[in-house]
Amino acid sequence: MDIFQAIIIGIIEGFTEFLPISSTGHMIVASRFLGIEESEVVKAYEVIIQLSAIFAVAIIYRDKFHIKYIELWQKIIIAFLPLAIIGFILKDYIKMLFSVEIVAIMFIVGGVIFLIVEKFYKEKDNSIKDISDISYKQSILIGLAQVLSLIPGTSRAGATIIGGLLVGLNREMSASFSFLLAIPVMGAVSGYDILKHYSEFENANLTAFIIGFIVSFVVAYITIKLFLSFLNRFTFVAFGIYRIVFGIFLLLII
C-alpha cells in the first residue's frame, strides 16, 4: 500500500465509520478502483485507521470520561455485551456470510428500514434529549439492535441509531450513544486484530500507516461534528436514500 492509497482509504474510513452507511461497502469499491488486494498488511492498516477513528470519538466526548458518568459507561458496556457474546460465538459463521452481494443487499434493506422508521418517527416531548438519561432497558435494546451489524453491510452505526430511535431517543442522542458505544466495540475488535496481525507491521510502509492514521482521525473528527449539526436540522431520510442507491450500484459492479 502506497501513501496515496493510504490517504484515500483513511478518508473513506474516517468519513463512513460513524455514519449509518457502512464502511464495508465503500472499502470494497475503493479497494477495487485503487487495485488494493486484501492482504494481511492491508488488514493491519485497517486496524490502525480504526484506532484513529476511536481516538476522534474519545476527544469529542472527552467530558464523558469523568467519574460522574460512571453509570453512563455501565450502560454502554451493557449495550456492548450482546454483540461481544454473539459475535464471539458465531464468528466463524459470520465470516462465511461475507460477500459483495450480501453487503449490497443489506445496504438496500438498511436504507428501506431508515425510510420506514423516519416515516413513522415522531419526536415526543419525553424523548431522551440527554445521553445520561438513557435507561438500562434502552441500553440493552440498543445493544440487541447492534447485533444485526454482524451481517456485513448492515452498518454498526445504522443499527444502533435505528435502535435508539425505536426506544425513545431523539436523533442526536441516538447518534451520540452510537458514537460512545463504538469505543468498546471498535476497541475490542482493534485490540483482537492487533494481536492477530501484529507481525505484519514489520513489513508495512510505516510512513503510509502514520499518514493514514492522521487522515482518518481528522476526517472522523470533522465528520462527527458535522453529522451532529446536521441532525439538529434534518432527518435520516437522505442516508436511507443513499444506502439504497449505493446498494444498487454495488450490485451492478459485481
DSSP-assigned beta bridge partners for residue 184: none
pLDDT for 34-93, tens place per residue? 887 777 667 777 778 888 999 999 999 999 999 999 999 999 999 999 999 998 898 888
Pick the closest to residue 236 from 135, 121, 129, 134 (CA basis): 121
Residue of higher predicted confidence among 243 and 26: 243
| Per-domain residue ranges of the chain | 3-253
Phi, psi of 234 (to 5 degrees): -130, 175
Give the pLDDT band of residue 201 (cuts 50, 70, 90): low
Task: Count Cβ atoms below 10 Å from residue 183 Cβ, excluding itself.
Answer: 19
Residue 203 in grid coordinates = 513489513
pTM of the model: 0.90
Position 49 scores a pLDDT of 86
CA distance 5 to 32: 11
Residue with cell 454483540: 83
Pick the closest to residue 41 from 198, 252, 231 (CA basis): 198
Give the pLDDT band of residue 26 (cuts 50, 70, 90): confident
Contact 114, 56 (CB under 8 A): no
Instruction: Strands of the chain (E only): list them.
Output: none
Position 126 scores a pLDDT of 54
